[in-house]
Structure 1
């Protein structure tokens, strides 16, 4: 195991770690335009200092782990927006460099290089459905180049986020197994199952069985999904569990906006920790205020 991944596991043996909050959410709060299909990747390309400042905000709020702005940086999606392959590779590396810079300034923490699902690239809400129609080999081919670049970009591990289906989890694991590249695998559940309707516990068990996977869990879900997901993970693995849900609002893919009421239950953080979560943070519609509250709850 790499020194950086080992140090993270050593820290988890002592205490829970705080993961940062929504990067796109914070960029938007700061006045950045994240309305394009590239979402935060457009800001990464045009205004990298804004991304750096968001990482700084989260470390200042108490985050131990920064997730990079590479979630929406895909070769296919960026090509539609006019970026060639070399420029896309540059964006992936830049995302890690910025998070590392903020981490080094803060003097502590780890950097997780974000890899979003195939559906996110489509920018039509497919990551919340999981009905892609692609098989394992097709998804492996699509993910491979981005994984290879991020594995060599200097992050401490890769964060595979918002995975909606067993077939995509299987594809990611097939690419990881035997490489020595460490990662966490985080799926997005709805009503206790994957967005594809498949069993949540099956995906977590598959992920936990791969040596390169150092933690499993859920993200980009309603806060009410978290306890059930922790229980499902605990039934299949002793590896660390990561949870970083949304604020409780719902994404409207057609209108490209969030609806509903934000009610991130920071009072539930202790119950998530007591149930077995080791890494806790926030996803969409959470910001430094929620991360600071998580930090306070855990300490």
Structure 2
């Protein structure tokens, strides 16, 4: 039978393990100069998020709380609770603020800016309508009403339904002296509802047409792809990627990167907006992506990375 072990010997190994664990967690950030810089950058980012959080707290406290009709990102974050009704801790909300402002979802961000670039350019919209019609994606109804559907008041949608009798025009008796304003407001709301319904139907027809055509149809839409590329060039979805270390020989374009090399992505926005990237780099010109997609700039031909060394 083994003799009893003193309690001092029982606690010593666990203390050593705990100390070693703390050293392993904290020291690697300070071993290299790059690690110390990244640690400092993370602290500055956290301070930035905390300042925004404090400002939001002050504003909503002065307003008596978050209004129910405030559906902004800040309002949703400050209103959020768990299933027990408890608010998240300060650190969790600060992390969400930093993520929302510096780490947006790449796919929704790219689609949003692409739609924005198309929406503010009616001529580009017409060119895309012709391209979609040539592939059979756009139905004849949408193609015929493309010029009127680009307006913001939905007059084209309302007129098309009036011809079918879906929107009955108000009679003369509707606009009496007593109820003229209320009748006009009702007609406006009815027109807006009908316009939204028509847009929903058109959207569904387009989705069905794309689903029937299959993914191969994207090869027949060079202008649409060019709009996406141009929007991603002007409004990149992400900041420079986090530094990564190459663990095995990796070929990146014409380069063979050996293991142990630290890779750091370049800033995408300055690289895409530089004068060497393209002629008039600040302008949206989707056609140049169609005509010479590999000659717009060196950053499109070679990967936008640089290697810091081992």
Classify the TM-score, shorter chain.
under 0.3
Larger RCO (CA under 8 A, 6+ residues apart): 1
* Bigger proportion of residues as strand: 1
Tell me the TM-score normalized by structure 1: 0.20
Specify the structure having the higher radius of gyration (Cα).
Answer: 2
Q: TM-score, normalised by structure 2?
A: 0.19
